[in-house]
Structure 1
């Protein structure tokens, strides 16, 4: 019997390459066809199956075998036995790969020890780390090893969402372990919806956040033990790892000075920080923008110029941290601005 399983599989690896009870690892990934399952069940009930009743896929998968000394007579093999035979080569390969992985790690462990000794004994307390994955891996490791305090400076207000998400993961992990954390952000982040959501989470876990109009550069200090500063325009491209006590003390002092001059961020200040809608015209413009109207349509409806409409949209977008007109609806909804506009409109005197 040529079953649909074998017909579908003949375009791939053939069964002639496998001997005895061995199973083709490619074909073994496919389930037997319906007619094969019926033949398999019948073979169990009757105790044997003739060659015509034993589909090729059952033989290939090792679910039927010939009786010893009785050619052309088959018996059904329990699925657990066939599965064990099929998966044993894969499991062995996985075990070999795990052993190879552990051996590789052991080889590099010696180099890591030598590297740490060189830093301590010969005074070279810095190293340049290059590559996005490499930089993130080192930062993840060192932040996870923090036991006393994590200090961070993040001067870029409009960083990618992926960067912010990774920072959230690191900082939340530190706070949940009971480690202190102080973070400096730019003042403009107070109007950035994604940043505000992160701030609420950090504050709820006991972290401290302050903001300043200007900050020098990105900085991460773990326990006054190791510090990281960027050495390229992109934080993920390259970072300088510093372990020498003198430079770390300088960076800690610079951070503490900036911290003392920064403005604390609290839950109350987040809730009260709302965009300022300065006129009735601006309120109407924002409502029409969210409804999806173009500048020309809004200008026509309100009896003003498209330039005026564009300028009002730009001002509100800047306050909300929106990078484009298409993104404006989300921060408006997040800050409940439309509800505020509706309330204020109801209070306006009708003519």
Structure 2
């Protein structure tokens, strides 16, 4: 049975209340009497009659010759019965959807074998399919979500897609940890996103270098993106093997423990800027090219070069090599934390 498209009940305004009050005292709703007593025009009385009738507050008398006021309790019961029937029907439809889809899940799992992946490591190459799988995993998550995001600030489009998904999860009481690189602290879109999720209880930290993107749900399901080729969004490996997921979680939890807490309300970037400079100095001393250093630190090559120019100016160096030598001699270059 399809749900009725019955329109919403009309609003009961002060004129309707006054007319109903008069009808209750008189025992009948008479148009001319209501118009005279309340100083109303014919059109307004007709409107009031229609509203009260739709609300079941006016009914035909026993002989059918007059319109009389009805009990609000009876009217409420009649109006509510229709809505409650619709709610029950929709609940039954929802239960039927759950029952039918869950009955097919074993069929899908049994036959969804890809040549290059076992059931516990499933490769999904279509980015749209990855997003659907990610949305389903988010809905199913019950205790913890751990996200590792290398690179600089994320695009506003990606963040808009994430905010609705993540806030819904947080409101269910799921613990959420997000690990970024230091450079996101100066990115407005990412800072706005992190402010919203931290207000709901998420914890955010930043680190100097992060090597791989990763999302882990409930320490039992991991999304490991493929390597990005050109500008095309990558697919992902969806991992459910207990040993592999546990290893990924422990490895990145160690990175989390050494990362710096990030409060998006703090707009003082001085300390972060110094950390970035120190990281660039260390990488310069290893002889890496500008674009490689920028990629490792999650920043644009042009931004990285501006930092380098400032560092060389501070050290009075005329070359990158000279800057590295002077920084090392001054003890400014820290050992690589991930040799």
- Cα distance in 1 for partners of 2:130, 2:9 equals 36
Structure 1 residues 206-285: aligned runs within 5 Å: 209-213=205-209, 215-216=211-212, 218-230=213-225, 239-245=236-242, 247-248=244-245, 251-252=248-249, 255=252, 259=255, 264-266=259-261, 272-273=270-271
| Residue number in structure 1 paired with 2:42 | none
Distance 2:28 2:83 in 1: 30
Among 4, 25, 28, the alignment partner of 1:48 is: 28
The answer for the alignment partner of 1:66 in structure 2 is 60
| Contact kept in structure 2, 1:44 and 1:76, CA below 8 Å | yes
Shift of the 52–108 alpha-carbon distance from structure 1 to 2, 3 Å rule, reads same
Q: What is the distance in 1 between the residues matched to 2:243 and 2:24?
A: 78
Question: For 1:80, which of 73, 80, 83 is the aligned residue?
Answer: 73
Consecutive unaligned residues of structure 2, counting only runs of 5 or more, are 35-45, 275-301, 308-339
TM-score normalised by structure 1 residue count: 0.51
DSSP-derived class of the 2:64 partner: strand
Alignment of 1:99-110 (within 5 A): 99-110=92-103
Mapping of residues 319-330 of structure 1, within 5 Å: none
> Is 183-192 or 38-47 further displaced after alignment?
183-192
174, 186, 193: which is aligned to 1:191?
186
TM-score (norm 2): 0.53
Structure 1 residue 154: deviation in Å? 0.3
Q: Distance in 2 between matches of 1:185 and 1:256?
A: 13
Question: Are the counterparts in 2 of residues 200 and 267 from structure 1 also a CA contact under 8 Å?
Answer: no
Computed over aligned residues only, the root mean square deviation of the Cα atoms, in angstroms, reads 4.8
Distance between the aligned counterparts of 2:196 and 2:60, measured in 1? 69
Contact 1:144 1:173 in 2 (8 A): no
Shift in alpha-carbon separation, 1:92–1:163, aligned structure 2, 3 A: closer
Which residue of 1 is the match for residue 312 of structure 2?
Answer: none
| Contact 1:144–1:170 (8 Å) recurs in 2 | no
Q: Give the whole-Å Cα distance in 2 for the aligned partners of 1:191 and 1:223.
A: 30
8 Å CA contact 1:228, 1:241 repeated in 2? yes
Cα distance, 1:78 vs structure 2:
1.8
Gap regions ≥5 residues in structure 1: 1-23, 277-313, 320-351
The answer to whether the 8 Å contact 2:222/2:239 transfers is yes
Measure, in 2, the Cα distance between the counterparts of 1:91 and 1:163. Answer: 34
| Secondary structure, aligned partner of 2:224 | strand
In structure 2, do the counterparts of structure 1 residues 136 and 114 end up closer, same or farther at CA, with 3 Å as the change threshold?
A: same
Deviates more, 1:48-57 or 1:36-45: 48-57
Shift of 1:227: 0.7
- C-alpha deviations, 1:208-233, integer Å up to 9, x for none? 734234633x2112354211123576
Q: Does 1:98 align with 2:91?
A: yes
2:290 corresponding residue in structure 1: none
Q: Aligned partners of 1:223, 1:91: CA distance in 2, in Å?
A: 37
Contact 1:186 / 1:215 at 8 angstroms: preserved in 2?
no
Displacement of 1:65: 1.8
Query: 2:147 aligns to what?
Result: 152
